[in-house]
């Protein structure tokens, strides 16, 4: 019985990593890059600010995406190792198949406007098993997280409702589509869309870029 349990855990972990590294494989009808699409904008969320930048790693993500959540520990590890040389940048790409992914992006962006982007993003990924895949709105749940983070709730509510906040997220989505993003997580290293097969490959690409 113990052996079967261990095998089940190993297989589940393998399936998660398979999903992470196949989520951004190009599809036959992948969009061609649009001439006005930008990989990075002035307001893009930069998680590291190296004094001497060697490369940029841009991730298009969806907070309701299980593969994005599975990738978080690895990305955090790489950020600690290469953050002094590589600029890590996050962009929103809520998928239409996830009922609360757009609402989650609004919550994170509203938190970002009060300097708490990373804290809210981490909270949503940490709690994703509780709210993910639900069909009813989780806006109240996200608002409770904002309260936990000590945000000014009047400012938060106004930001969530603001057209400017929604447009900010639409712009990320439009750029992603124009750059050929079809799933999440999708990574670009120095402007090149990555097709990842293994964790070791990902690590090696960043190690080479950081030299």
List pLDDT tens digits, range 90-127.
Answer: 999 999 999 999 999 999 999 999 999 999 999 999 99
The angle, 0 to 180 degrees and rounded to 10, between the axes of the packed helices 153-161 and 163-178 is 50
Average pLDDT, the chain: 89
Q: Which tens digit of pLDDT belongs to each residue from 187-208?
A: 999 999 999 889 999 999 999 9
Looking at the chain, how many residues does it have? Answer: 211
Q: Which tens digit of pLDDT belongs to each residue from 12-39?
A: 444 444 455 544 443 333 344 556 899 9
Burial of 70 (0-12, 13-18, 19+ CB in 10 A): buried
CB 120 within 8 A of CB 111: yes
| Ordered DSSP codes for 65-87 | -HHHHHHHHHHHHHHHHHTTTEE
Q: Where are the alpha helices (DSSP H) in the chain?
A: 2-22, 66-82, 101-112, 117-131, 139-148, 153-161, 163-178, 199-209
């Amino acid at each position: 019985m113990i052996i079967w349990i261990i095998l089940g855990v190993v297989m589940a972990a393998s399936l998660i990593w398979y999903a992470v590294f196949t989520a951004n494989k190009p599809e036959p009808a992948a969009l061609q890059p649009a001439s006005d699409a930008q990989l990075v904008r002035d307001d893009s969320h930069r998680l590291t600010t190296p004094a001497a930048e060697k490369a940029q790693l841009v991730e298009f993500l969806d907070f309701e995406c299980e593969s994005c959540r599975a990738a978080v520990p690895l990305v955090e590890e790489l950020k600690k190792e290469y953050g002094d040389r590589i600029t890590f940048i996050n962009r929103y790409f809520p998928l239409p198949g996830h009922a609360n992914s757009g609402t989650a992006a609004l919550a994170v962006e509203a938190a970002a406007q009060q300097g708490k982007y990373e804290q809210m993003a981490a909270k949503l990924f940490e709690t994703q098993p509780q709210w993910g895949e639900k069909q009813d709105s989780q806006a109240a749940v996200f608002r409770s997280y904002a309260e936990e983070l000590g945000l000014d709730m009047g400012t938060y509510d106004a930001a969530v409702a603001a057209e400017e906040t929604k447009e900010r997220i639409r712009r990320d989505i439009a750029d992603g589509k124009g750059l050929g993003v079809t799933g999440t997580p999708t990574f670009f290293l120095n402007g090149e869309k990555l097709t990842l097969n293994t964790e070791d490959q990902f690590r090696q690409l960043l190690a080479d870029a950081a030299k």
